[in-house]
Structure 1
C-alpha cells in the first residue's frame, strides 16, 4: 500500500512538472508584425481574435503585448470559437465597425473562409511580405 501511494505521488509530481513546463511556453514575437500592427492602429482599430485558453490575457501582458491591440477577443471567454460566425460579429461590434469593412487575417484557411462567408474581407496569412502588401494601401 505504501508503494502504491508512492507511485501516485510520483505520477502527480510528473503531471505537475509537465503542466508547469507547458505553462512556461511563450513562443516568439515577430517585431515586424508588431511594428506593422502599430502603424495600422494609428489609422484604424486592430483586434486580436484568438482561440486561446483563458491564459491569453496574462500571456500578452507577460510578453509586453497587452497594449498592442484595441481589443482582444478571446474565444475561451465568449463561449464560441473561430470559425463560428458569431466570433466575427462580436469582434466587429466590439469596435463599432460594420463587418463588411473589416479585414480578417488568419493563418488557418478555414477561419478565413468562415470570415469571408460572414461578410468580412479575409486574408490567409502566409508571411510578413504578403501581409505588408495587403495592408500598405490602408496606410496611405
Structure 2
C-alpha cells in the first residue's frame, strides 16, 4: 500500500491541551480573581472530575442525567459544544458566573494548547515529500487559529471538523470527506489518532490507521515520528 495522504486527529494527537490547573489559573488571573490555595485545589479537582476541560483527561466521567443527551451530541455543532462543556463546568462552584464561559473561551486559544514535540518535524517532513495533510476532528470549534498560533498552519491542507459536517468519528463520512478534499482514494490514506474507537472508524472506509497514545506532551516526545517511516 502506497500512502498518498495523511489524516490527523487534533487533540491528543498533534496537540495537547493544558492542564486543568493551568486552565483555571489563566482565567482567574485574567480577571484578577483570587482563590485560596484550598479553594483553588478543590475547584481544579472538581473541574477535572467533571470532565469540564475539552480535550482533557480521557478518564470516564459520570455525566449528570440532565446533561447526558447534550454531551452525547456535543461535537455536532458549536452551540451544543459550548453548552455541554459550560454545563459540566457549572457543577463546580466558582466565584463569578462569567467564569464558565471564560473557561470555555480560554480552551480555544493557542495559549491553551501545546504541539507534541515531534509534530512540526513530522508535518514538515510530509510537506517536503509532497504528501497532503488533513486534520479530522470531533470538535465544536475551528482549531485553525491554534495551528496558526504555533506556526503549523502552513503544513495542513484541509480541516474536516465534525461540527461543520454534523457527524462525528467513527462515522466513515467524515474520513471520506477528508479524502475527497485531498483528492485521494481512502485506500491511499493513513489516519493517525489517539482514539481506537473514533479514529479507528477510518479502517471501515479502507484507510490505513496508526494510533498514538493520549499522553501529556512531555511524556510523548516522538510518538508521531513513526508516521514518516510509513510513507
Which band: TM-score by shorter chain? 0.7 to 0.9
1:114 aligns with 201
Tell me, in whole angstroms, the C-alpha distance in 2 between the residues paired with 1:19 and 1:75: 22
Q: Secondary structure at the match of 1:108?
A: coil
Question: Using a 3 Å threshold, how does the CA distance of structure 1 residues 92 and 23 change in structure 2: closer, same or farther?
Answer: same
Which of 1, 7, 14 in structure 1 is aligned with 2:96? 14
CA contact (8 A) 2:212 2:224 kept: yes
The yes-or-no answer on 1:41 pairing with 2:127 is yes
Q: Secondary structure at the match of 1:14?
A: coil
1:90 aligns with 177
Alignment of 1:48-127 (within 5 A): 48-126=135-213, 127=220
CA contact (8 A) 2:133 2:158 kept: yes
Q: Secondary structure at the match of 1:104?
A: strand
The structure in which a higher percent of residues are helix is 1
Q: Secondary structure at the match of 2:183?
A: coil
CA contact (8 A) 1:56 1:74 kept: no
Q: Report Cα offsets for 1:90-137 as digits up to 9, x if no partner.
A: 000001000001000110001233111111001111355453234224
Tell me, in whole angstroms, the C-alpha distance in 1 between the residues paired with 2:105 and 2:171: 27
Q: Give unmatched runs, 5+ long, in structure 2.
A: 1-92, 214-219
Structure with more contact order per residue of length (Cα contacts < 8 Å, sep ≥ 6):
2
- Tell me how far 1:31 sits from its aligned partner: 3.7
Tell me, in whole angstroms, the C-alpha distance in 2 between the residues paired with 1:33 and 1:110: 22
Count of residue correspondences: 127
Q: Give unmatched runs, 5+ long, in structure 1.
A: 1-10
